[in-house]
């Protein structure tokens, strides 16, 4: 049974051009009205992407920067709405997509745990029951009552990941953020996700750690220019991506 079904999904974004060097009000107004008259330009982030992730499977998404990996993860998470196609997910979805996403910088770590837990569908009673475990897993006991604006990027990641996994989701989405963690905590995260796999949870992770994708994911998706370039067993897809990334050989004289 499918945990995630993506059918013919396309997404584009309006291109924003920043112009500088305006020296007078007249030139600024001239450029303003000219830009309004010109038709908008768009960047195609995803083009007719389809895939099915079975319940309990782990999918890795690979591709160059700008290939559409993060856009696809955000659409699955429900953060973006596709311009065409549809996405169906079964069960509670928890996403760790970018550092500090969903955190209010002026609130403490404690307050942000409650806010994020409620957003992800937990009651206050459930958050209180899991709170100590969340903080202990993140290793932030000494900082949990400090504003998160004082946190380092690693501390952001640790708290965000801990909240994401302790809401007990059916589907966990992870987009590259593990790259900022120190080795012991990343190992801790992978141990937690391995536990998720044993419990039949569905995991989607996007990133550039190809050895991790090969040994840890059941399947992989290779995006290029917003399109599906390869989809299948993780070692095969990673090999296809490596081949596409390899520099062209210069013929010897």
Look-up of token digits 């450029």: 31
Q: Is the pLDDT of residue 62 over 80?
A: yes
Contact 14, 42 (CB under 8 A): yes
Return the pLDDT at 233.
97
Stronger pLDDT, 121 or 148, i.e. the higher one: 148
Query: What integer best gives the mean pLDDT of the chain?
Result: 87
Q: What is the reported pTM? A: 0.82
What whole-number distance in Å separates Cα of residue 172 and Cα of residue 1?
17
Q: Is the pLDDT of residue 176 over 80?
A: no
Return the pLDDT at 236.
97
Q: Is the pLDDT of residue 238 over 90?
A: yes
- What residues are paired with 90 via a beta bridge? none
Return the pLDDT at 149.
92
Contacts 24+ apart (CB under 8 A), 35-43: 40/14, 40/15, 41/14, 41/15, 41/17, 42/12, 42/13, 42/14, 42/15, 43/12, 43/13, 43/14, 43/15
**Across residues 225-234, what is the average pLDDT?**
96
Return the beta strands (E) in the chain as ranges. 2-14, 42-54, 58-62, 84-89, 93-96, 171-175, 202-206, 219-224, 227-233
Return the pLDDT at 91.
92
The span from the first CA to the last CA of the chain, in angstroms, equals 56
From residue 57, how far is each of 65, 171, 197, 200 by CA, in Å? Answer: 25, 10, 7, 8
Q: Which of 66-80, 138-152, 180-194, 200-214 has the lowest mean pLDDT?
A: 180-194
Look-up of token digits 């897809």: 237
Stronger pLDDT, 182 or 33, i.e. the higher one: 182
**Would you mind telling me the total number of residues written for the chain in this entry?**
253
Residue 115: both structure tokens together: 């806010």
Contact 12, 43 (CB under 8 A): yes
Q: Is the pLDDT of residue 97 over 60?
A: yes
Q: Is the pLDDT of residue 7 over 70?
A: yes
In this structure, how many other beta carbons lie within 10 angstroms of the beta carbon of residue 235? 14
């Amino acid at each position: 049974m499918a945990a995630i079904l993506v059918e013919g999904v396309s997404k584009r974004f309006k291109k924003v051009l920043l112009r500088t060097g305006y020296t007078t009000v007249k030139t600024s107004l001239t450029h303003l009205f000219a830009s309004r008259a010109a038709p908008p330009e768009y960047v195609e982030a995803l083009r007719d992407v389809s895939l099915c992730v079975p319940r309990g499977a782990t999918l890795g998404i690979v591709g160059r920067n700008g290939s559409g990996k993060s856009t696809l993860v955000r659409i699955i998470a429900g953060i973006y709405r596709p311009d065409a196609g549809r996405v169906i997910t079964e069960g509670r979805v928890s996403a760790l997509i970018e550092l500090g996403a969903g955190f209010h910088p002026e609130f403490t770590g404690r307050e942000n745990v409650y806010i994020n837990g409620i957003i992800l569908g937990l009651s206050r009673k459930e958050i209180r029951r899991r709170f100590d475990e969340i903080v202990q897993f993140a290793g932030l006991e000494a900082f949990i009552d400090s504003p998160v604006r004082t946190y380092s990027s690693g501390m952001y990641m640790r708290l965000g990941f801990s909240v994401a996994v302790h809401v007990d989701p059916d589907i966990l989405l992870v987009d590259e953020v593990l790259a900022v963690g120190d080795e012991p905590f990343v190992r801790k995260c992978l141990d937690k996700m391995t536990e998720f796999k044993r419990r039949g949870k569905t995991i989607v992770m996007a990133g550039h750690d190809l050895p991790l994708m090969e040994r840890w994911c059941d399947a992989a998706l290779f995006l290029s220019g917003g399109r599906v370039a390869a989809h299948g067993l993780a070692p095969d897809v990673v090999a296809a991506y490596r081949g596409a990334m390899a520099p062209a050989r210069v013929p010897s004289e």
